[in-house]
Amino acid sequence: MSKGIAITGMGIISSIGNNVEENYRSLIEGKTGISRISKIKTLHKDHIMVGEIAFTNQELEQQIGLTPDNNYSRTALLGVTAAKQAIQNAGISNINKYKTGLISATSVGGMDKTEAYYHDYFENKATQKYIAGHHAGDSTQKIAEQLGIEQSLVTTISTACSSAANAIMLGARLIKSGQLDRVIVGGSDCLSKFTINGFKTLMILSDTYNTPFDENRKGLNLGEAAAFLVLESDKVVQTESKTVLAYVKGYGNANDAYHQTASSENGDGATLAMQKALKVAELSSSDIDYINAHGTATGNNDLSEGQAILRVFDKGVPDFSSTKAYTGHTLAAAGAIEAVYSVLALQNNVVYPNLNFKTQMKEFSMTPQLELKEKELHTVLSNSLGFGGNCSTIIFSKKQ
């Protein structure tokens, strides 16, 4: 049994940076990655804004060292990029020295390739390999192959926007129970027409920069990204004399079973998830120094999450902000993206500004942090709330 769940490595690629350092620089400089879409031909290109990664698929393939005849989706390319960064950051040279698993999250999977080739499926057999990479597990398998993980647990989680947070939680539990010594956890999602059209149908896409927790918020900006963290047991940390970036202190998930896409107005699921995470961490609400809110800038989420935060923290709500105005909503990857941001906040003792906020919501009086704030942090709570009522909370700390 491992008492501590140490984070020893991180990797990330998003619309605000191609690695951990670039992402952090953008966060503290208030640099958003939201823009008009350029890499996808869509009828909505003039009506929505997204968080798009600058690299083309060809550039990502070259960086990874793939041959042109590969069938990697953009989701897989982004995932491999971030996962390799995390392994390098953790200083791992022999990934199979300890019992090592991979838990990767995605919701888009290989949809980008399916969109491009499904019309030719029966006419051109050469394109069928791209459709074979459609399923959610394909990107996970490719990441495992690229990392060289052998004869261990490799699995995929797809619980909408809480997916990567649940990957972190499952990885932590596997280490805590002694089933694995090390788990690479995170998620990857690319932009696709399918996602754009789906969210457009739900009428929750903004035509301008998203404004989390603002009274006049118009909806979310979709984003693409990937992030992975290396979780290791006490045994590995001590044996290898590893540098610990932070610890996974607590975790919890719940489902309010309210609606197919909307969260309950009172935030029942989010409330339960936060309460469970605090219980696992053996902390009280007053021990939380900063909340990295899910904060998608939709009418439903920000009201529901805000009510949940008030139910858990009452009059003692700590500093909180959403980073979705930087990256857009990266769907299944969001929990991992914001896990990296939470660890960076702990390491640097900063609270990120909630960009684009202008008008206080009328339903409650709490206001997100509006400017970069330097503050001694010991614990950060991060929420990831998804469709279908999937609500997850992770607590990160400097100490076990």
Q: Tens of pLDDT along 12-53?
A: 999 999 999 999 999 999 999 999 999 999 999 899 999 999
Dihedral angle computed from the Cα positions of residues 26, 27, 30 and 35, in that order, rounded to the nearest 10 degrees:
60
**For the segment 76-102, what is each residue's pLDDT rounded down to a tens digit?**
999 999 999 999 999 999 999 999 999
Is 151's pLDDT higher than 90?
no
Amino acid present at 141? Q
- Mean pLDDT score of the chain: 95
Q: How far apart are CA 328 and CA 21, in angstroms?
A: 19
Judge whether 38 and 53 are in contact, CB under 8 Å: no
271 with 339, same domain: the answer is yes
Total number of domains constituting the chain = 2
- Is residue 244 assigned to a domain? no
233 with 263, same domain: the answer is no
215 with 161, same domain: the answer is yes
Amino acid present at 223? G
**For the segment 175-224, what is each residue's pLDDT rounded down to a tens digit?**
999 999 999 999 999 999 999 999 999 999 999 999 999 999 999 999 99
What is residue 359's predicted lDDT score, i.e. its pLDDT?
Answer: 97
Domain that holds residue 49: 6-239
What is residue 272's predicted lDDT score, i.e. its pLDDT?
Answer: 97
What is residue 99's predicted lDDT score, i.e. its pLDDT?
Answer: 96
151 with 205, same domain: the answer is yes
Q: How far apart are CA 104 and CA 144, in angstroms?
A: 9
Judge whether 169 and 394 are in contact, CB under 8 Å: yes
Residue 71 has a CB neighbour count (10 Å cut-off) of 18
End-to-end CA distance of the chain: 14
- Is residue 142 assigned to a domain? yes
What is residue 304's predicted lDDT score, i.e. its pLDDT?
Answer: 94
Residue 83 sits in a domain of what CATH number?
Answer: 3.40.47.10
State mean pLDDT over 223-249: 97
208 with 316, same domain: the answer is no
Percent of the chain with pLDDT over 70: 100
Judge whether 360 and 395 are in contact, CB under 8 Å: no
Q: Which two tokens stand for residue 150?
A: 């052998």
Judge whether 251 and 392 are in contact, CB under 8 Å: yes
284 with 222, same domain: the answer is no
Pairing of strands 319-322, 225-232: unpaired
226 with 284, same domain: the answer is no
199 with 304, same domain: the answer is no
Domain stops at, among 239, 261, 283: 239
Using the CB atoms, write b or e for 184-208: b if 16+ within 10 Å: bbbbbbbbbbebbeebbeeebbbee
194 with 226, same domain: the answer is yes
What is residue 58's predicted lDDT score, i.e. its pLDDT?
Answer: 96
Domain stops at, among 179, 208, 239: 239
What is residue 259's predicted lDDT score, i.e. its pLDDT?
Answer: 84
Listed residue (156, 162, 193, 159) closest to 79, CA to CA: 156
What is residue 256's predicted lDDT score, i.e. its pLDDT?
Answer: 84
292 with 222, same domain: the answer is no
Listed residue (44, 43, 367) closest to 206, CA to CA: 44
- Is residue 245 assigned to a domain? no
Is 144's pLDDT higher than 80?
yes
**For the segment 343-385, what is each residue's pLDDT rounded down to a tens digit?**
999 999 999 999 999 999 999 999 999 999 999 999 999 999 9
What is residue 2's predicted lDDT score, i.e. its pLDDT?
Answer: 63
What is residue 66's predicted lDDT score, i.e. its pLDDT?
Answer: 97
187 with 254, same domain: the answer is no
